[in-house]
A and B are shown apart, each in its own frame.
Chain A
């Protein structure tokens, strides 16, 4: 039986982890649970640490464009708070129920990465409760700073395997004067040409999405700049997110993305290619789909990870390990010496 632990404060989270390490008990970390079907399938953990009780707003400084919150706070609530000051956290990819810590642990960058940058660039300070129950602060709360090693960047994308993200300071951005989505349906060569024109400027689009049979562009800025590009029409709503039984996230050099999308389209797989960024979300139904699509990404100089899906799609969720795996394992040992956190989630760990 999995024992549920729901700390109300960072100190309680640290104490719970200290205890887990002493007992050598495996711990699964759960925020909103929207990105938990990742990594290798594992036996039920001894304990489940839920972060939802840690949701205090610690400091909100609208004039500094910074916000410090406990990481179990739902992103939707953070968004409302920021919006009350005309600000937003545009780098995050939000699903219904996502928590701030969950988005950061998964390095889930949103569709506006093209213009606003990756979500890892928005984290100024982090407090981690390490696997053995230390509370470690990295970075600083000012909008700029290089004091000490970049523990925040290490925490982003670490999927809870170094520590539980318990508190963060984020850099916010002003909400632009106007925002609009525009779309077209056309054969692939025409869509690729239109994507190239959108990326080439002069406006800097927030997002250029290549989709099966369609292209969607998000423009932001003053009203004069938010007008339909040639051959495109305004969309009432942003394109819906791609869903299959599972989701594969591929990353390839941005110039190769059109080629990857072409192969997915030819194979009849749903996809969302974030042009200019290099990320492609591919809807997969079977382990064969995973293997096939990963093969294309690898051949194009990239990689592909299963970021959501049932157990049968996650027998090999990562593909080949990157250079530096031994170093990464030493890094895990430095933060979680007993290896209790999210076993099997990352680092090609055996799960038996």
Chain B
């Protein structure tokens, strides 16, 4: 496809929007060449539409000029999904930040895609409602980006990931056509295209409006910290709690290194000498909370928990969650950069995989820290490093590859909630055979027969049967991953 460097092209977009919403200064373009991952691409022009019509006009013009279109939310993604390649056009929805409608009777909210995740929950809190998916980046990530990656978060254990909370959407296809999919009326006839777009990583269309389900805030919540002498004991407690017949609202684990880093940052009086800490939250009616708390406490102690600390009040509960959600920021105290992984393994294999990851890190002479969604087996091993040290970066990548292979070897999947993007694209054949990759490519082509949207993401080159690949698996020149 063409690139957008020619000044005449920039002027065409200025005519559609206005000058301040078309970015082509090299320094600013450089900012848009990255996201929250460690990938860096090549950004052509950035446009900042504010309405569906403007998005459609930009996409139509991109089609006329044969430009690739890379949709972008807040740019907090961790798999390189929003990283433009070959000077493609970045369509940022960062200015589409209106909550268009809240209907407490459904209950649901209709929002523009640039609305930040936490802002939505704050906007509906007075109605006793909240938006359930709560990624750790929820202060910065957008609903549009959440839809693209099918984002999760600690509270998805009981209430499900983004796909279960998106009722409907408006989407601009690669030729500029605007479609409304789904809505508050359940199960419209035909295929569930709405469900397919969630997790589509911006390769199926530009989502310009989302109707999300809101949930009633439960009458009672109890949040507990349990500290364990070994990681194995904590992992077995996770399985024991599930086997006890309950699905807690959230069940998170932090290892010793991570707990120490976080404690220095939030001063929550965390048990820094514990090998592993479990953060477990139960909610519901008073009777449900009492019954579920009893299970968590009993199973915890049976597996050697030294203490079960129950948050005394909302302030302490907020502190526990601050500790969990600021974990990634706290890593800055250990090393300047980190590479955050995202794999899911069967809950029953959690302990052995954690031990394997520790050995992988040791073998590559790296520091790995763990904070993750233990309840659903969603691991987030984090490798702290210094990107100025090229040799170390190589070891980081080698360790990352070993971690992914270790997870897949026990029946795991490549990503739990971050997505595939560029980062894991070439690992897809580890879990899908050729026929399955080809089918995914054909389904994608049904949405975007023009290949306009976020090309080269998600599926490795050569996924389509008969696709000619000279250098399979390599990223475009100039891409830093």
Contacts and interface: CB of A to CB of B under 8 A. Distances in A.
Nearest to A304: B189
Nearest to A256: B185
Contact of A253 (B106, B181, B417, B436): B106
A352 interface: no
B179 A146 contact: no
Given A63-B347, A143-B377, A322-B188, A173 B247 contact: yes
- Interface size bucket, B side? 35 or more
Contacts of B415: 145-147
A61 B440 CA distance: 28
- Interface size bucket, A side? 35 or more
B449 interface: yes
Interface in A102-140: 107, 109, 117-118, 120-121, 128, 130, 134-138, 140
A154 B196 contact: yes
Interface string B223-246: 000000000000000010011011
Given A138-B439, A201-B216, A221-B284, A144 B344 contact: yes
A347 B435 contact: no
Interface-central residue, B161, B195, B418, by most chain A CB under 10 Å: B195
B304 interface: no
B285 A145 contact: no
Contacts of A301: 183-185
A322 B190 contact: yes
A121 B164 contact: yes
Given A63-B348, A143-B376, A147-B413, A154 B185 contact: no
Interface in A234-271: 249, 251-255
Contacts of B345: 142
A146 B242 contact: no
A92 B445 CA distance: 31
Given A140-B413, A202-B285, A255-B105, A157 B445 contact: no
Contact of A254 (B106, B198, B446): B106
Interface string B195-207: 1101110000000
A166 to B, nearest CB: 13
Interface in A294-352: 301-303, 305, 318-319, 321-325, 327-328, 330-331, 333-335, 346-347
B378 interface: yes
B191 A157 contact: yes
Nearest to B164: A121
A269 B105 CA distance: 26
B9 interface: no
A66 interface: yes
A249 B344 CA distance: 37
A10 to B, nearest CB: 12
A201 B288 CA distance: 13
Contact of B188 (A121, A128, A303, A333): A303
Given A63-B347, A141-B346, A302-B185, A221 B285 contact: yes
Given A143-B377, A334-B439, A334-B445, A251 B420 contact: no
B245 A251 contact: no
Contacts of A6: none
Contact of B285 (A107, A136, A149, A225): A225
A349 B216 CA distance: 41
Interface stretch (B149-157, B310-318, B362-370): B149-157
B286 to A, nearest CB: 8
Given A144-B152, A303-B188, A204 B458 contact: no
B288 A221 contact: yes
Interface of B: 103, 105-106, 149-150, 152, 156, 160-161, 163-164, 173, 179-181, 183-193, 195-196, 198-200, 216, 218-219, 239, 242-243, 245-247, 284-285, 287-288, 290-291, 344-348, 373, 376-378, 411-420, 424, 428, 431-433, 435-440, 442-447, 449, 458-459
8 contacts: A147-B424, A150-B150, A150-B200, A157-B191, A223-B287, A251-B186, A330-B446, A334-B443
